[in-house]
Chain A
Amino acid sequence: MNKSQSEIFRELMHELPVPDRLSPENITLLLEKQKLKSASTDARICYEQDLHSVRKIEFSSNEPNKDNSQKSRAGSSGFSKAYRITASLAACLAILAGVVVYTDVSHSEITSEDPSSSDNYANDYSELFKTFQRFYIDGSDKKTLDSASAEASRYWGDSEDVDTDNVSVPHTGTTSGITATMPSDSGAESEEPDVPPADESEVPEENKEPEAEPEQIVVLEPGTAISDKLICTDGNTVFYASGDNINIAVLENQNVYLKSQIPLVLESSTKRSFEYLFLSGSRLVAVSSVTRTEKALSNEADFGTLGEFMVNTFGDSENGIVERHSTEVRVYDVSSPEIPVLVSSYEQSGSCTDAVMDGSILYIATSYDKYRYSPISGVDDLESYVPSYAFNGQKYYLSAQDIIIPNQLATTDYAVLAGLDVSSANPVVSAKAVLGYEGRIYIFGGSAYMLTYSNGSSTDMTSISQFSLSGGNIGYVASASVPGIALKEYSLGKTGDYVYICTLVQNGESSAPNIFVLDSSLMVVSSTEIAVPSSSVKSVTFSGSTAYISVAGKNECYTVDLSDPYFIKMNDGVSESNTSVSFKPSGDGTGFYLRKNIDSTIELVLCSVDSRGVISQISSVEVEENPGTSTALNDAGVLFTDASLKIVGVPYSYYDGYDYCYKYIVFSYENNVLSKIGSFETHEIDNKFEYGRAVYTGESLCVISPGRITSAHVDRSGVSVVSEADTIANGYTSSH
């Protein structure tokens, strides 16, 4: 089509009226309103604007609903019929005159597939039961992300340099748990326009700048951070879980007193362990995992062909004992620390995969994969195939309308999500389950994401299902598929409204990691291929506006700039990195980690973090002259940092030939210079007194070990122990 015909189309188009609400004046008003809205409470899911159509996503309904906007009827274009016919004829002749020859070239588009429209809530239990029947009768091998990953690994071969022991595991925690949230400003204004790189061949040799040293990058490992989940404080009272108890210690004039202990509920044939502790006002929330052992029911029931098939397929434990996993939430009123009162208890099917506190709302995710202790005898045998929860001892099965059955099922495992309002006497707000769980669920602020394998046009795809978390309500939002397999070594990231996912995409004989950016509706807005051989990639992690690609067997790291979600790109060059350590940001543009040297000395390393999230070493100091170890060596989250005091606390332990010395050393990093302020230590024979994490209550530094809580005074001149409270009996104590 020649240009004149394009001009005709354009002219015809430009005669159409543009709605008033899109005029620049009204757009200015819209943007001003948006600025005000952004300053108020986030209402991401439910919002309305005067100049914009109303959209709502109903949390309790099966699918997102959309209200129709008001229809505006514009007037006629004013074209005369004669002009339209003339213009049409002219264009028609031009099209007839132009002949275009093309070749049919098939190329896959790196965009997301249209989101599956068939992810449905079950209509009733009968539909859910039939799904199970079809799944097991089918009997064909179902591909999961894990099996597809294993295939992909065999396809491109395992690199000898891959250290599988240190492969980072996708983090299923909150943004607070992901210490990778750097204090970076991805929106930092850049005044420098993009300048094309100069042709270096034209630059005289003597004027060329020396090659810059590779930047030292420490890739954040999503650390274990176990004990971080089990300590909380309101400034006067410290709550921490240790062993079989929750200890409640109160600070009075910097003296610490153990006021009470909340024991784990002990029952026969039941094991419990604390997973999380949260504090919301005067409510202490304890999340525990529960394992009950039971005898399997007889397998000799006569259920006919289908039943016999299911008996053979299910494979109960040979010794007739099965374990049933659940997750328990107990809410205590701790307004009187001496007498904590149980307010409510809730138990949900499945092992706890994540728990997040948002104000007074607790969101909890569990994986329910060991629910079968006998073959399903029929649709009414809800215990065999329907997740459940119990509130104050009363059991409820999830209704069928709260269970989502996806299009493709590779497993009959469930992900169960619940929202609980711990400030309420009846905390259960919402509980949903998704069938086909494959072990990948991530909770970020306001949303949960579940990854599963899907197969589109005979190519490997990864399906992402998004659930909204708001006010305790859980709602299915959308599903989408992106090309490739999301390997366990590739994590999921989220910044603002954008989600980042990395998958391994097969392209003919080769494969390469690709990063996709999805918006709040899971539409792919951009993508980039990582120009690193997939067999060399050890892990991909997301931190703020940067993706870090670590290379197996080498201290190298590539980065991808995510600051513009619509245009992500790999940064040039490769940086030196040490990917085997974890890093503790202090919140003021600095951070710390411990490094063990060849001579076994341990150094505390101070780093700076720039706006891109790149970490560079500033200085380091030897922690202690006696050779020893630290609980913070493999988990930098154990380090205590305070950006206002500019101090960092390091637990350290060593054997002095007689017993173990457990030491806590405090350093200052004023003006980026590390210097020791002071320390305190204790000599014990029981490692339950080894120092671990600490919290600062505003007056005291409280250092916690499983058997003791220590209150210390810290200032620029030194550190001194004020008091201690033991939570267990000790062999002997020699405190300094």
Chain B
Amino acid sequence: MRSDFSQLVRQARKGDSEAFAKLYSEIYKDLYYYALCNLNNQDDAADAVSDAVIDAFAGIKNLKDENAFKGWMIRILTAKIKRKQAEYVQVRDNTSSMENDEGEIIDIPVSEGKYMGIEILDRIESLSPNEKMCFSLNVLYGYTSDEISAATGINSATVRTHLARGKQKLKRELSAEFE
């Protein structure tokens, strides 16, 4: 019930971690899948969600509209994802490979089969970071371009461009696969 939801938000504002966890339980899977679409592997995705949860719990007292909890969490998670993506750029620029614990040179893993072999989901990796972000928000949450713009900070018209290009790319990929 809506009143229960508002009550949970009010309790979470007071530092009630269980109340926050109940709010989180309604959306946590979609949060994880969103992060997974946009990051290289499952661990990074889980890290991003954990970071976002910690920040959100610390800052929930600043949430003015209780009904905006989900969108607000997505904005925070988007920021975490972007930060992680920036680290990928730094690592890629500085090294093309790195040492593992045994001192052997290994390539930086890109996907590590994060989609567990589901080929159609693997095709998402052919999209650019911004295209993936817009596409995943559109698919997972049904967000419109304006809603995606609010969550990511990307201009609405640019969002529409990313969405259109992303879908075209996927179309090409799947067409080539199944020709």
Contact = CB atoms under 8 A, between A and B. Distances in A.
A1 B124 CA distance: 14
Given A108-B155, A566-B76, 8 more contacts: A24-B28, A27-B53, A28-B17, A51-B50, A96-B171, A111-B154, A117-B89, A521-B86
Interface string A1-42: 100001001101111101101111101101110110010000
Given A22-B50, A24-B21, A189-B61, A95 B174 contact: yes
A703 B85 CA distance: 56
Given A13-B140, A16-B36, A34-B57, A21 B175 contact: no
B47 interface: yes
Nearest to B6: A193
Interface string B32-59: 1100110000110011011001100111
B165 interface: yes
A404 B121 CA distance: 42
Contact of B33 (A13, A23, A190, A193): A13
B33 A14 contact: yes
A657 interface: no
B53 A100 contact: no
6 contacts: A6-B139, A53-B43, A74-B42, A111-B153, A189-B14, A565-B59
Nearest to B162: A102
A66 B79 contact: no
Contact of B117 (A84, A87, A98, A103): A84
A207 to B, nearest CB: 27
Interface string B152-179: 0111011011001101101100110110
Interface residues of A, number: 82
Given A25-B21, A88-B174, A30 B50 contact: yes
Contacts of A77: 116-118
Interface in A92-122: 92, 95-96, 98, 100-111, 114-115, 117-118
Contact of A115 (B42, B90, B116, B157): B90
A189 B167 contact: no
A565 B59 CA distance: 9
Given A102-B160, A102-B165, A566-B76, A13 B121 contact: yes
Contacts of B82: 111, 523
A19 B46 contact: yes
Interface in B129-159: 138-140, 142, 153-155, 157-158
Contact of A31 (B21, B62, B139, B155): B21
A452 interface: no
A189 B64 CA distance: 9
Contacts of B47: 52-53, 69
Nearest to A106: B158
A117 B95 CA distance: 11
A566 to B, nearest CB: 5
Nearest to A97: B171
A476 to B, nearest CB: 12
A102 B164 contact: yes
A471 B119 CA distance: 50
A9 B139 contact: yes
B157 A105 contact: yes
B79 A566 contact: yes
Interface string A673-694: 0000000000000000000000
Closest 9 CB pairs of A and B: A102-B164, A31-B17, A564-B62, A107-B155, A24-B25, A77-B116, A117-B90, A92-B174, A28-B21
B20 A190 contact: no
Nearest to B45: A19
A6 B155 contact: no
Given A13-B140, A27-B28, A107 B158 contact: yes
B70 interface: no
A71 interface: yes
Interface of B: 6, 10, 13-15, 17-18, 20-22, 24-25, 28-29, 32-33, 36-37, 42-43, 46-47, 49-50, 53-54, 57-59, 61-66, 72, 75-76, 79, 82-83, 85-87, 89-90, 93-94, 115-121, 138-140, 142, 153-155, 157-158, 160-161, 164-165, 167-168, 170-171, 174-175, 177-178
B146 to A, nearest CB: 14
A109 B32 CA distance: 25
A6 B116 contact: no
A566 B174 CA distance: 37
A563 B175 CA distance: 49
A17 B89 CA distance: 27
Contacts of A103: 161
Given A52-B47, A84-B117, A194-B65, A32 B174 contact: no
Contact of A109 (B24, B65, B90, B155): B155
Residue from the set A101, A103, A117, A186 with the largest chain B CB neighbour count within 10 Å: A117
A84 B119 contact: yes
A88 B86 contact: no
Contacts of B64: 190, 193-194, 564
Given A84-B120, A189-B61, A524-B153, A28 B18 contact: yes
Contact of B93 (A16, A118, A193): A118
A34 B53 CA distance: 11
Contact of B75 (A25, A88, A118, A566): A566
Contacts of A336: none
B83 A521 contact: yes
A323 interface: no
Contacts of B10: 191
Contacts of A58: none
A114 B89 CA distance: 8
B119 A21 contact: no
Nearest to B85: A114
Residue from the set B49, B62, B93, B171 with the largest chain A CB neighbour count within 10 Å: B62
A43 to B, nearest CB: 14
A15 B72 CA distance: 25
A731 interface: no
Contacts of A658: none
Contacts of B37: 13
A76 B90 CA distance: 32
A567 interface: yes
A453 to B, nearest CB: 21
A104 B161 contact: yes
Interface string A59-95: 0000100100111101011010000100111011001
A139 interface: no
B46 A193 contact: no
Nearest to A120: B94
A96 B172 CA distance: 9
Contacts of B157: 105, 107
A79 B115 CA distance: 11
A109 B154 contact: yes
B116 A76 contact: yes
A54 to B, nearest CB: 11
A193 B65 contact: yes
A527 interface: yes
A51 B155 CA distance: 36
